[in-house]
Structures are given as C-alpha cells and as structure tokens.
Amino acid sequence: MSTDFSTPVAVEMCYENLNESCIKTSYSPVPRLILYTVFGFGVVLTVFGNLMVMISVFYFKQLHSPANSLIASLACADFLVGVTVMPFSTVRSVESCWYFGQSYCKFHSCFEGSFCYASIYHLCFISLDRYIAVTDPLVYPIRFTAFVSGLCIAFSWLFSIIYSFFLLGTGANEVGLEQLVSALTCVGGCQIAVNQNWVMINFLVFIIPTLVMIIVYSRIFLIAKQQARKIEGMGNKTENAADRYKEKVAKRERKAAKTLGIAVMAFLISWLPYFIDSVIDAFLGFITPTYIYEILVWFAYYNSAMNPLIYAFFYPWFRKAVKLIVTGGILKENSSSINLFPE
C-alpha cells in the first residue's frame, strides 16, 4: 500500500526465507501508527456499534417488530464485517502482506462479498417495508408480518452467501485470467481477480437492488411531501380521533423512512466507487494502483460503522438503549420492558 504522506523506507520480502515470497513495503513508525489507529478505530466502532444495535433490538420488548428484525439482521452483517474482514484487511493494508494463509484469503474474500450483498439486500427490503408503512400505515402491520420479514432476511443471507461462495469457491472468477493469476501469485499475497463476465454480473447484483431503493425512496419522499401539503391545506379543520392517530403514525413512519434513506445513501456513497472501479479495472487490464484500491475498499468497509452512528444521531430510543446497556441498566429486573419512546 502506498500513501501520499509517507515514503517506503525499505523494500523487504513478506517471508525472507522463501524465493516465492511477495515484496513487502515497510513504512516508518509514525505512518504505521497512524494507519493502525485509523483502521483499528474503524474495527472497534463497527463491532461495538452494531453489537449495540443487535442487543437493543433483541433485548428490549418495545423494539420487537418485523421492521426492527431487518435492522438487527443488517447490523449482524455489518458486525461480521468488523469481525471477519476488517482486522485482517488492516494488517494487509499496512504491512502489504497477507499472513493468514491462502485458505483464509479465499474465505476473507467470500465473507467480504457475502456481507456486502447481504447489506444491500437488507437495505432494499427495508426500503420496501418503509414504502408500505408510509403509503398505508394502518394496514402496514397486517401486510408486513414477522413471517414476511423472516423471508426477506432468509433471502438476503442465503442468496448473498451462496452467490459469493460459488463465484470464488469454484474459481469461476478466474476463468480466462489464468496467466495473470499465475503472475500475481506469491507467498504472502492475497489478490482476487474477477474476469469481465463475472464482474458485470457482480455489478448487476449490486445495481439492481440499488435502483429499486432509489425508485422506492423517491416515491416515499414524494408521498411524504403530498401528505405534508394535505395537512397544511386542512388548516384548523376539526379532525376526529382516527384521523389524528393516522397522522401521528404516518409522521413516525416518514421519520423512520428518512433516517433509513440516509443509511441507504451512505451505503451507496461508500460502495459505488468500489464497484465502478472493479468494472473499469477488469476491462482495462487491472491498472488500479494498490493504494487506490486500499482507499476504495476501506471507504466501503467504513460503511459498516456508519449505520449505528446514523441511528444514534436520529433515534433517541437507540441512544437510551445504548446508555442502559453500557451502564448495566439492563441487569435490573424487568429492564427489558422499559419504555424507550417517551412522549
């Protein structure tokens, strides 16, 4: 990995006693410390933040809902990125060597792909959930049930894992690139090449749910605007209790949709450059410099730390839940029934 703020001080080998070893780029102590601090902070934030989301949803009874089950499952995908992907990528990025064996190199790439696709399909189903909630909030609990939520979660995980492990496990990604792969192969390296056919399929698997989310959230915000205009037009007209309740529910659902819309935008901003570069790279002979690749991939990894921060910023209930968890408030009797939504 190369950066603008440091110059390699020596050229070494990842394994000094092996002729087939990859070249290692060493950095002076200060840049190494900075890089490990930045990447390590990302790992801690990802693991801790998403763990808080999962504990909150599973522990507090008030948060037991089909929609929140999707959010907890999304947090699980991000949590696994922080546990199985980011720590190993930290060492690879700073040391420019892979010290965890060739077998885990392939698993590492499979995990990376699985959890990325799991995240985007969870977000896609969450956007559809929000659309139903905003367009018809009173009928929503009947239409989006625990069973439907379970199907969405099962599809997101099974499709993502099967697709990623099939692609990389069978070696289909390397067909036609045998000479390149052979040239890149060395002890201490972990390069995964994807041919033009599969890189386009990868992009389609990513972009189709992306387009669905963009269309759905565009519709949601259009409907929210119409609802707000309708309320303003009613002025001081008397509303019955049912109308007031419906408007209160609709307002809550619009706020949830806005928050999750921000989470979707953060995901796209983080991952879209990586996927675009992967397509360009495959068609132009893999010309992306290593340091550019590392920047793009870490930009994508950091998305796994963003969602808990978004929830903390927009959801008072999440801040209250985290406070109870961290301070040990959940150890008290009947703490799972605490009201997290004070009026």
Q: Encode pLDDT of 24-79 as tens digits.
A: 887 788 999 999 999 999 999 999 999 999 999 999 999 999 999 999 999 999 99
Higher pLDDT, 231 or 1: 231
233: confidence class by pLDDT, cuts 50, 70, 90: low
Average pLDDT over residues 92-116: 91
22: confidence class by pLDDT, cuts 50, 70, 90: confident
pLDDT at 244: 60
Tell me: pLDDT of 258 over 80. no
Tell me: pLDDT of 187 over 90. no
The CATH number given to whatever domain includes residue 76 is: 1.20.1070.10
pLDDT at 165: 94
Average pLDDT over residues 255-273: 82
Rounded distance between C-alpha atoms, residue 329 and residue 55, angstroms: 13
What would the two tokens of residue 54 be? 């999962």
222: in domain? yes
The DSSP code sequence of 272-307 is HHHHHHHHHHHHTTS---HHHHHHHHHHHHTHHHHH
Number of domains in the chain: 1
342: in domain? no
Tell me: pLDDT of 334 over 50. yes
pLDDT at 127: 87
Tell me: pLDDT of 6 over 80. no
4: in domain? no
pTM of structure? 0.87
- Residue pair 246/137 in contact (Cβ under 8 Å)? The answer is yes
pLDDT at 254: 66
Tell me: pLDDT of 159 over 90. yes
Among 4-13, 248-257, 267-276, the range with the most confident prediction by mean pLDDT is 267-276
Tell me: pLDDT of 1 over 60. no
pLDDT at 205: 94
226: in domain? yes
pLDDT at 8: 44
339: in domain? no
Q: How far is CA 36 from CA 88, 92, 168, 234, in A?
A: 12, 11, 28, 57
263: confidence class by pLDDT, cuts 50, 70, 90: confident
16: in domain? yes
Tell me: pLDDT of 5 over 50. no
3: in domain? no
- Residue pair 196/154 in contact (Cβ under 8 Å)? The answer is no
pLDDT at 240: 61
Across the chain, what does the average pLDDT equal?
Answer: 85
284: in domain? yes
Which residue type, as a one-letter code, is found at position 328?
Answer: G
CA torsion angle for 215, 216, 221, 225 (degrees, to 10)?
100
Full residue range of the structural domain in which residue 240 is found: 10-334
Helices and strands (H and E) in the chain: how many = 12, 2
Among 113-117, 129-133, 180-184, the range with the most confident prediction by mean pLDDT is 113-117
